[in-house]
Structure 1
Amino acid sequence: MQVTVKWVDGAMFLGESGSGHSVVMDGPPDHGGRNLGPRPMEMLLLGVGGCASFDVMAMLQKSRQQVVDCRVEIAAERADAVPAVFTKIHLHFVVTGAGLKEKQVQRAVELSAEKYCSASIMLGAAGVAMSHSFEAVEFLP
């Protein structure tokens, strides 16, 4: 896997993935940015959320759960000193579907956290306190 990050101006950078996709990252105005994209550390959290969500949805689809919506809300805390690394990250999954089996949702979240989500497991191994929770919401058309 390979990516390139190119400086544009001020605190703005363009990230280009090896798969051919681009994303703008920018800083706040007080750091020379124009607030035109997510911060790099926000991108890291977005990556964790994407990785975990990919796993959870794959497992729920394999177990034939009728999911109509899945989101993960991520809250993180950072150290007060430099480097301002993440110290805690909590992922809360909200899965909505018709006739969802709560045990299946719980198992998918647990397996993602403990076995499959490379990003989450890597951060946990680096000392970040990772936690996960979920709620299964019944879809009412």
Structure 2
Amino acid sequence: MKVTIKWIDGVSFVGESETGHAVVLDGAPENGGRNIGMRPMEMLLIGMGACTSFDVVAILKKARQPIIDCVAEIDAARADEIPKVFTTIHVHFVVTGDNLNPTQVERAVKLSAEKYCSASIMLSKSVEITHSFEIKPLSVAAT
């Protein structure tokens, strides 16, 4: 896998993947940024969240669970001192669908965290990552 990071100016960059997708990254104004893109550490969390969400949805679909929606809400804390690494990350899944089996949802979250999500597993080597989930029936989610 290859990516290219091109400096724009100040602390603004464009990252481009080998698949041709691009994203703007920038720093906070107090650090010389113009606030025109995500912060790199935000992007790291989003990447991890997308990776684990991909797994959870795929596992639930393979288990023939009637999943309609999946949202990963991620809350992370960072060290106060430089390097301001993540110290804790909590991933809370909100999975929507009528008649979802809680055991299957729990299994999907656990398999992603322990076996399939490369990003989570890599980060878990240095960060405490916890997971939780809730199930919203479709009838409740629509109101």
TM range (shorter): over 0.9
In structure 1, the gaps of 5 or more residues are none
Counterpart of 2:129 in structure 1 is 130
Q: Could you tell me which amino acid in structure 1 is paired with residue 89 of structure 2?
A: I
For residue 28 of structure 1, report the CA deviation from its aligned partner.
Answer: 1.3
Match in the other structure for 1:95: 95
Segments ≥4 residues shifted beyond 3 Å: none
When the two structures are aligned, how many residues end up with a matched partner? 140
Q: 1:41 corresponds to which residue?
A: 41
CA distance, structure 2, for counterparts of residue 14 and residue 25 of structure 1: 6
CA RMSD between the two structures: 0.8
Query: 2 CA distance for matches of 1:132 and 1:6?
Result: 35
Q: Deviations over 1:12-31 (max 9, x none)?
A: 10000011100001111111
Q: Which position in structure 2 is the counterpart of 1:5?
A: 5
Please tell me the residue identity of whatever aligns with 1:136: I
- Deviation per residue, 1:89-134 (Å, 9 max, x gap): 1100000012111111110001101111111110111x20011110
TM-score (norm 2): 0.95
Structure 1 residue 49: Cα displacement: 0.1
Kindly indicate which of the two structures has a greater share of residues assigned to strand: 1
Offset of residue 73 of structure 1: 0.4
The aligned residue for residue 116 of structure 1 is 116
Distance 1:16 1:32 in 2: 22
**Quick one: percent identity of the two aligned structures?**
61
Deviations 1:57-105 (A, max 9, x none): 0001101111111000000011111111111011000000121111111
Unaligned runs of 5+ residues in structure 2 are none
